[in-house]
């Protein structure tokens, strides 16, 4: 329930869009006088509707002494409102046969309800209540503090390799708020007073930071009327929105560390500083990432897992966000293989990208895979609503859902070689070895 977007969050945001051959996704976009942006995609082919609200607030908007707030709100705002009793938010959706959830990244917080289409009004009522007058009270704050702590225990502390993103971020960024992960600090949450939570709500949960994106089986004219009814009266925000304006300096040398974790098999993680999302280099990087780990025949799994059997699993993860990006390689060692043995092999796969152009055939394979993933991505109303909102918030252009693939088509083999040479260098990376904390599984002694 309500998961904090862990590792693939921003990385996957952009992998939605359509190639030239794909069907055009039509939508209507407008802004209410109070600043709320609305995007409507009508599709009456199945009796379902996805009601989503994307707030442009993530962990990067937090105070350095109050990290974890954005994610905490993702929990708190299910607690209830002036008209929704505590604990009933979910029950309304369940009893309607619907489903709901939310997630938080470094850049935004996203809420959604998936409903049978005759329950559109229910979704609008719930989301407008959440924006208009959520109840921020001690009882809810205290309850959710415990839940978030439990979540951290389960997903970060107790999860093998669960702290990777936190550990990488704090070494990759010195100034920018990307240096902490959305889960934030439990001490900060403990120390925060009720009025700080209320202030955060009043600052960020206002119509002008939100995109209400709805896709599915409705009549656009009726939906617009309902949206006016439920959201029109919500006042515009009155406070300035803190948005960091920090350009992080280059890393300036390789950073290495060893992390002890509750794991059985060591892992090697390399995080290279990379361009921010939406840049031309970003698209070249995403294609490069597919060369390394897009399928059973991709270089990482073919070389490290199948041929050399040094890794149980190996993957590349583009982790590109609004202000800056990271490109992460992650390999779990096979039993008995030391990280020191595995790392040079990961390097050699990565360096092969800097040595020469990938072949025309491999380039074509990657293009085919990217095209295929794109076309498949927007197959649900929920996916379409989320993509439209992301494109609007990050690039100011929801229509990228139809045109973004052109940006990939511009990438050449030389561009891939160029980003590899420019970014995949030692002095531009953080390397972590994850090693077993407890003694290894005991072996037999008479």
| Region from 6-14, 43-51, 139-147, 274-282 binding another protein, contact rule CB under 8 A | 43-51
Under rule CB under 8 A, residue 22 binds another protein: yes
Closer by beta carbon to another protein, 250 or else 361: 361
Closer by beta carbon to another protein, 114 or else 393: 114
Q: How many CB atoms lie within 10 A of CB 233?
A: 10
Euclidean distance between CA atoms 183 and 204, whole angstroms: 18
| Residue in the structure block whose two tokens are 């709100």 | 73
User: Which of 35, 232, 242, 244 touches another protein (CB under 8 A)?
Assistant: 232
**Cα(first)–Cα(last) distance of the chain, in Å?**
48
Spacing of C-alpha 168 from chain mean position: 16
Euclidean distance between CA atoms 105 and 197, whole angstroms: 19
Contact 382, 50 (CB under 8 A): yes
Closer by beta carbon to another protein, 192 or else 267: 267
Scan residues 376-415 and list those touching another protein (CB under 8 A): 376, 378-381
Closer by beta carbon to another protein, 340 or else 427: 340
User: Which of 240, 250, 252, 442 touches another protein (CB under 8 A)?
Assistant: 442
Under rule CB under 8 A, residue 7 binds another protein: no
Closer by beta carbon to another protein, 48 or else 168: 48
Closer by beta carbon to another protein, 218 or else 423: 218
User: Which of 64, 359, 364, 412 touches another protein (CB under 8 A)?
Assistant: 364
Question: In this structure, what token pair is assigned to residue 148?
Answer: 């978030």
User: Nearest distance from residue 324's CB to another protein, in Å?
Assistant: 30
Radius of gyration of the chain (CA): 23
Under rule CB under 8 A, residue 21 binds another protein: yes
| Region from 8-16, 258-266, 269-277, 391-399 binding another protein, contact rule CB under 8 A | 258-266
| Residue in the structure block whose two tokens are 């995007």 | 39
| Region from 65-73, 373-381, 394-402, 408-416 binding another protein, contact rule CB under 8 A | 373-381
User: Nearest distance from residue 276's CB to another protein, in Å?
Assistant: 27
Closer by beta carbon to another protein, 146 or else 441: 441
User: Nearest distance from residue 381's CB to another protein, in Å?
Assistant: 6
Number of residues counted as binding another protein (CB under 8 A): 85
Under rule CB under 8 A, residue 310 binds another protein: no
| Region from 144-152, 189-197, 225-233, 344-352 binding another protein, contact rule CB under 8 A | 225-233
Scan residues 270-309 and list those touching another protein (CB under 8 A): 294-298, 302, 306
User: Nearest distance from residue 427's CB to another protein, in Å?
Assistant: 26
* CA–CA distances in Å: residue 108 to residues 50, 54, 227, 276: 18, 7, 22, 15
Euclidean distance between CA atoms 83 and 38, whole angstroms: 24
Closer by beta carbon to another protein, 48 or else 398: 48
Contact 129, 201 (CB under 8 A): no
User: Which of 125, 200, 201, 204 touches another protein (CB under 8 A)?
Assistant: 125
User: Which of 96, 198, 246, 255 touches another protein (CB under 8 A)?
Assistant: 96
| Region from 55-63, 163-171, 226-234, 281-289 binding another protein, contact rule CB under 8 A | 226-234
Scan residues 163-182 and list those touching another protein (CB under 8 A): none
User: Which of 262, 313, 352, 425 touches another protein (CB under 8 A)?
Assistant: 262
Scan residues 188-217 and list those touching another protein (CB under 8 A): 217
| Residue in the structure block whose two tokens are 């002008």 | 208
Phi, psi angle pair for 102, to nearest 5°: -160, 160
Closer by beta carbon to another protein, 10 or else 333: 333
Scan residues 49-78 and list those touching another protein (CB under 8 A): none
Scan residues 105-124 and list those touching another protein (CB under 8 A): 114-122, 124
User: Nearest distance from residue 341's CB to another protein, in Å?
Assistant: 8
Here's the x/- map for another protein, 136-165, by CB under 8 A: it reads as: ----------------------xxx-----
């Amino acid at each position: 329930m309500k998961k904090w977007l862990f590792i693939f969050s921003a990385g996957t945001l952009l992998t939605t869009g359509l190639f030239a051959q794909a069907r055009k996704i039509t939508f209507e976009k407008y802004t209410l006088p109070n600043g709320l942006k609305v995007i409507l995609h009508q599709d009456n082919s199945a009796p379902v509707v996805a009601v989503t609200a994307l707030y442009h607030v993530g962990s990067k908007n937090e105070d350095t002494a109050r990290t974890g707030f954005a994610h905490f709100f993702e929990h708190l705002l299910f607690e209830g409102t002036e008209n929704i009793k505590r604990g009933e938010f979910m029950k309304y959706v369940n009893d309607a046969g619907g489903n709901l959830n939310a997630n938080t990244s470094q850049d935004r917080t996203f809420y959604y309800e998936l409903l049978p289409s005759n329950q559109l009004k229910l979704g609008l009522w719930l989301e407008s209540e959440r924006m208009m007058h959520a109840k921020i009270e001690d009882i809810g704050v205290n309850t959710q503090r415990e839940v978030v702590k439990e979540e951290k225990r389960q997903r970060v502390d107790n999860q093998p390799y669960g702290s990777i993103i936190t550990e990488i971020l704090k070494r990759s960024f010195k100034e920018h708020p990307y240096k902490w992960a959305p889960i934030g600090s439990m001490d900060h949450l403990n120390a925060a007073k009720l009025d700080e939570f209320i202030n955060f709500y009043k600052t960020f949960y206002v119509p002008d930071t939100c995109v209400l994106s709805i896709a599915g089986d409705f009549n656009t004219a009726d939906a617009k009327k309902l949206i006016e009814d439920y959201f029109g009266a919500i006042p515009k925000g009155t406070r300035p929105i803190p948005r960091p304006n920090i350009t992080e300096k280059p890393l300036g040398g390789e950073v290495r560390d060893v992390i002890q974790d509750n794991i059985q098999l060591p892992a090697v993680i390399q995080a290279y500083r990379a361009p921010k999302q939406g840049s031309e280099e970003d698209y070249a990087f995403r294609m490069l990432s597919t060369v390394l780990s897009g399928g059973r025949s991709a270089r990482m799994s073919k070389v490290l897992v199948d041929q050399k059997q040094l890794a149980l699993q190996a993957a590349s993860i583009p982790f590109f966000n609004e202000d800056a990006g990271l490109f992460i390689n992650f390999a779990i060692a096979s039993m008995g293989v030391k990280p020191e043995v595995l790392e040079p092999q990961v390097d050699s796969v990565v360096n092969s990208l800097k040595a020469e152009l990938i072949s025309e055939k491999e380039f074509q394979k990657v293009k085919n895979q990217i095209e295929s993933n794109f076309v498949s991505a927007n197959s649900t109303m929920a996916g379409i609503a989320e993509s439209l909102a992301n494109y609007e918030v990050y690039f100011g252009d929801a229509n990228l859902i139809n045109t973004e693939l052109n940006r990939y088509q511009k990438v050449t083999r030389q561009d891939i070689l160029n980003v590899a040479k420019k970014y995949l260098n030692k002095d531009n990376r953080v390397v972590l070895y994850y090693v077993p904390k407890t003694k290894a599984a005991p072996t037999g002694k008479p």
